[in-house]
Amino acid sequence: MFGWLPTISHLLFADDAIIIGEWSKMNLENVVRILRCFRICSGLKINLAKSNLFGLGVPVGEIEEMAAIVRCSSGSFPFKYLGVTVGANMNKVSSWKMVYDVFDDRLSKWKSLCLSIGGRVVLIKSVLQSLPGYYFSIYRAPVTVIKDLEVKIKKFLWGNSEGSRSMHWVKWDRVALPKANGGLGLSKLLTINLALLSKWGWRYKTEENSLWKRVVEALHYSGRKWDFLPSRKGWSGPWSNIAKVIARITIDGKPIRCFFKSDIGDGSATSFWLDPWVGEVLLKDLCPLLFVLESRKKCKVSDRLIRYSNGVSKNWEWRRNPVSGQEVVELARMYAALESVELSCGRDKWKWTGAADGTFSVGSVKKLLIGSRDPSDIFIFDWCKWIPAKCNIFAWRAEMDRLPTAAALARRGIILDDQFCPFCSEHMETVEHMFLACGFASVLWQHLSAWCKVPNPFFFSFKDLLEFKLYSGLSGKKAEIFYGLLIIGCWSLWRLRNKSRFNNKEARIEDVLSEVKSCGFLWAKNRAKLGSLSWSDWCKFVNM
């Protein structure tokens, strides 16, 4: 079936080595002799003080006795190898303690207090990108683990500290959407876990002669199961969990295996009935009665379709000929599906239909998993590249009315002593009033429009403010700079609001204009590739 069955005697990676063998004193002594010969020939000596001896199903006392002979330490399961825990039951929450510790260390309280929300988002992305490479790509994370880790992420994002709770202003479902879908660009841990595990399905289909695939087939192959990936029933372990996860992943109601499609060459590497290669449905599902009649259910395409110079002929091997009405109907359906199939001399190649170029990537799986959720009618915020992330996130929140204004806090049961706008003291403090309707803000927008030489703006919602660049008459770099200045203006108004409310600072429009111009110049010069821009040109809004 497999050509050859693997016998694993050792695993080597960099300066780490694992030697595997049958447990016996003689075998162990022979291994020691081999290592001694290796030292004599190469001049390299194994550091036995850092080595460990493990035994599967062997009493602890016997392991210690053997370790004394080798002059190394006795080890026990689970243990860490190349950063991964080996021998632990990863279905238990306690086995994920190291991951919890990493999250607690990297997303610590002092970092949350010192970093802006933009910095916190960057750090969260860094943790999510580095940590899954060790655990989420090998093990299926328990639901409790995913929930606990996401709680840590949310607390860090919104500035929670020990013994206190800060308000989570935006739902996690929205935060965990890509920016192109209206989110903050983070990812749900379950999505990351599923996408990383699905890569093993792609590797299994494309890495034909790899050692790990041979090991999996030798352990899990069964002549009575027709699954996309082999998995022996009743067995536990990482591969069994991976196979179960991939079998259960659906995207828009379609199993993820349907996105792995074989591009037929000579048909020698593709299963006729069990692999997706023609149409949208596996042939065993398209013609279930014929599949029952098939004598070799794991036959290849080249076994059933014979290539000739003038076309392709069929070579069936039925237990008995199809005779019933439904069997004949399925046979006609089969011929219709195979009508346009052509074989060539080349090898079969697998392609990922979830991407335009046919190349599999974890990112493309994540996009499909996110895209398969129910679409929402949400505003897609246009992220300005030349201003800091904290300003972008502020505007993203403001459009959703997710800033801690007096009105927003009142909706959450927190009533401020003074609920009026700190600039005019006449109206309830809301996002719409403070940034759009207040006379103080109107003066800012009039000055900004005069400076940037655009018509006086009229805003009816925060969305109108964000879309004003489309109607400003500006284009190219100037339009992008003007868009950033609008966001900086809102951000500066909010900073002045906080100083006025908490530090009793007098609200002066000159302070806001000064901050918009100075911060805008600093960021445009260093972040918008305008290094040669002078202050005089900036004040005239020219040469951009």
For 40-89, what is the HEC assignment? HHHCCCCCHHHCEECCCCCCHHHHHHHHHHHCCEECCCCEEECCEEECCC
406 lies in the same domain as 507: yes
Residue 403, in any domain of the structure = yes
User: Kind and range of the H or E element at 462?
Assistant: helix 462-467
Please give the DSSP secondary-structure letter assigned to residue 390: H
Residue 282, in any domain of the structure = yes
- Residue 374 pLDDT: 54
The pLDDT of residue 488 is above 60:
yes
- Residue 422 pLDDT: 93
- Residue 462 pLDDT: 96
Residue 228, in any domain of the structure = no
Q: Name the region of 349 (left: φ>0; alpha: ψ -120 to 50; beta: rest).
A: beta
343 lies in the same domain as 431: no
Strands 79-81 and 305-308: unpaired
Residue 90, in any domain of the structure = no
CA proximity to 485, closest of 348, 158, 321, 493: 493
403 lies in the same domain as 337: no
398 lies in the same domain as 476: yes
424 lies in the same domain as 530: yes
Residue 461, in any domain of the structure = yes
Containing domain of residue 274, as a range? 265-347
293 lies in the same domain as 394: no
Which residues are CB-contacts of 133 (< 8 A; sequence separation ≥ 6)? none
Residue 462, in any domain of the structure = yes
Task: Tell me the pLDDT tens digit for each residue of 70-111.
Answer: 889 999 999 888 878 888 899 999 999 988 988 888 888 778
Name the domain boundary from 47, 76, 105: 76
Name the domain boundary from 50, 76, 102: 76
Residue 340, in any domain of the structure = yes
The pLDDT of residue 376 is above 70:
no
CA proximity to 197, closest of 132, 284, 255: 132
- Residue 253 pLDDT: 85
Which residues are CB-contacts of 84 (< 8 A; sequence separation ≥ 6)? 134, 135, 138
To which residue do tokens 């372990």 refer? Answer: 237
528 lies in the same domain as 397: yes
Residues 365 and 194 sit within 8 Å (Cβ to Cβ)? yes
494 lies in the same domain as 421: yes
- Residue 86 pLDDT: 87
Cβ atoms < 10 Å from Cβ of 19: 16
- Residue 159 pLDDT: 84
Name the domain boundary from 347, 376, 401: 347
335 lies in the same domain as 406: no
Lowest mean pLDDT among 7-16, 104-113, 187-196, 359-368: 104-113
Structural domains in the chain (count): 3
Residues 482 and 469 sit within 8 Å (Cβ to Cβ)? yes
Residue 238, in any domain of the structure = no
